[in-house]
């Protein structure tokens, strides 16, 4: 998984496949910085520690 660009909570972003094809689009709950920190975390508590109580 990769996070490209900078965005804030509430921004509409595009999700692309490995091949670069758009597979989804939606409004994000986390900023790009928070998303990079959360990526790869497996435990709910780990994600909550990074993003505060927004989960």
Q: What is the pLDDT at residue 15?
A: 94
- CA 18 to each of CA 15, 22, 24: distance values in angstroms, whole numbers, following the listed order: 10, 10, 13
Residue 48 and residue 32 in contact, taking contact as beta carbons nearer than 8 Å: no
CA torsion through residues 42, 46, 48, 52, sign: negative
Q: Going residue by residue through the chain (55 aa), what tens digit of pLDDT does each one get?
A: 789 999 999 999 999 999 999 999 999 999 999 888 888 776 666 556 665 655 4
Indicate the DSSP class of residue 29. Answer: S
């Amino acid at each position: 998984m990769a996070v490209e660009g900078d965005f804030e909570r509430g921004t509409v972003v595009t999700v692309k496949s490995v091949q670069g094809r758009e597979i989804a689009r939606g409004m994000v709950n986390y900023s790009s910085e928070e998303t990079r920190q959360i990526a790869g975390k497996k435990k709910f508590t780990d994600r909550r520690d990074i993003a505060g109580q927004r989960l």
